[in-house]
């Protein structure tokens, strides 16, 4: 039985609203009698823009307020960029639907340069991601990484007034906001491996809300789910978050899943890259095996040092 009104929590950023609206439109098309109401929320991560995400609590600062609304039954579900989700959910909540993935790639956006290879020595690159920063420095140690915060529009504005020579943004965000024309170069995964879950939209709700979970099943994309579960299993085993210098991308080759992973030092001096293939029907186990390969190849030492130095406090 359909609820009279389905309340959907979302951040207030233009991209988050687009994603929630996308879910609303799909549900309305499938269930014409269902009323869907968006509940936009300003999160801690949207307010604090003068500090790195890892200094104010990690990626969870973008989802805690939304999750609290679900826990308190003030909304029914929340729509997220999966790359923003922590590895572990609060008790009683979970990721129940994974929609078809857009491009997982990162891109270069610049006013004057067409590619990362075109950037001159000393060029200033805007990103607040350790994952992006360490890989870019490793590839082009002559470039300068500078922090940049804010939604996509804010970042583009800072680029356009000359604060940066180029910025790095997820392709999916630009695509969804109709800004694909701003992309100068899609960075190959050999240069920049994406964040866990990048490009995919997920739905979080109470795990005891069986009627809602059944209703949402029609939005799930099985192939994307297999890949995302592998990437998130790897990340969880590493006890990582998207604020850490950790990257991963899983791709299906028929019934085989191919997943690559990376752990790096923030200065880009060490990048540990591993990959593994396995059955799509054991995707989470494959992700855990990849995590073990990364840890035993030196990743454990890197992560322990980062935590010991309290880089994330």
User: What confidence tens digit (pLDDT) does each residue in 245-274 have?
Assistant: 999 999 999 999 999 999 999 999 999 999
Domain count, the chain: 3
* Any domain includes 194: no
Domain that residue 302 falls in: 222-313
Taking only the tens place, the pLDDT of each residue in 170-183 is: 999 999 999 999 99
pLDDT score for 283:
98
**Residue 56 binned pLDDT confidence (cut-offs 50, 70, 90):** very low
**Sorting pLDDT into bands at 50, 70 and 90, what band is 308?**
confident
Query: Do 167 and 304 belong together in one domain?
Result: no
Asked whether residue 192 is assigned to any structural domain, the reply reads: no
Confidence check: pLDDT of 55 > 90: no
What are the distances in angstroms from CA 243 to CA 19, 60, 99, 178?
22, 10, 23, 27
Residues paired with 252 in a beta bridge: 257
Do residues 6 and 141 share a domain? no
**pLDDT for residue 1 is more than 50:** no
Residue whose tokens read 């140690």: 141
pLDDT digits 0-9 by tens, 105-145 = 999 999 999 999 999 999 999 999 999 999 999 999 999 99
Q: What value, to the nearest 5°, has the Cα angle with vertex 239 and ends 43 and 86?
A: 20
Please state the rounded mean pLDDT for residues 72-89. 94
Residues 216, 238 within the same domain:
no
Place of tokens 């992006």: 132
Structure tokens at 174: 């630009």
User: Are 12 and 22 within one domain?
Assistant: yes
Tokens 């073990």 label which residue?
292
Establish whether 223 is a catalytic residue: no
Q: Is residue 157 part of a domain?
A: yes
pTM for the whole thing?
0.91
CATH number of the structural domain spanning residue 115 = 3.40.190.10
Catalytic residue, candidates 84, 106, 165, 209: 84
Q: Are 78 and 149 in contact (CB under 8 A)?
A: no
How high is the pLDDT of residue 30? 96
């Amino acid at each position: 039985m359909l609820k009279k009104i389905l309340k959907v929590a979302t951040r207030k950023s233009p991209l988050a609203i687009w994603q929630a609206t996308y879910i609303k439109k799909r549900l309305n098309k499938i269930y014409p009698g269902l009323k869907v109401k968006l509940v936009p929320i300003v999160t801690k991560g949207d307010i604090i823009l003068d500090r790195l995400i890892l200094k104010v609590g990690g990626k969870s600062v973008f989802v805690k307020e939304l999750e609290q609304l679900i826990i308190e039954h003030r909304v029914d579900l929340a729509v997220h960029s999966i790359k923003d989700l922590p590895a572990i959910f609060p008790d009683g909540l979970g990721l129940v639907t994974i929609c078809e993935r857009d491009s997982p790639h990162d891109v270069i956006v610049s006013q004057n340069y067409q590619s990362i290879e075109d950037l001159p020595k000393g060029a200033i690159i805007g990103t607040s991601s350790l994952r992006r920063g360490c890989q870019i420095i490793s590839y082009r140690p002559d470039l300068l990484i500078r922090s940049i915060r804010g939604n996509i529009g804010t970042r583009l504005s800072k680029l356009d007034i000359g604060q940066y020579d180029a910025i790095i943004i997820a392709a999916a965000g630009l695509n969804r906001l109709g800004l694909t024309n701003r992309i100068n170069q899609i960075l190959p995964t050999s240069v920049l491996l994406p964040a866990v879950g990048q490009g995919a939209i997920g739905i979080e709700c109470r795990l005891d809300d069986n009627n809602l979970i059944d209703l949402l099943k029609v939005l799930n994309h099985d192939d994307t789910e297999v890949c995302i579960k592998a990437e998130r299993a790897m990340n969880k085993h590493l006890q990582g978050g998207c604020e850490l210098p950790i990257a991963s991308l899983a791709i299906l080759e028929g019934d085989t899943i191919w997943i690559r992973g990376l752990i790096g030092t923030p200065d880009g001096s060490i990048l540990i890259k591993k990959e593994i293939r396995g059955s799509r029907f054991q995707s989470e186990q494959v992700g855990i095996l990849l995590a073990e390969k990364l840890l035993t190849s030196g990743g454990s030492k890197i992560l322990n040092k980062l935590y010991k130095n309290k880089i994330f406090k």
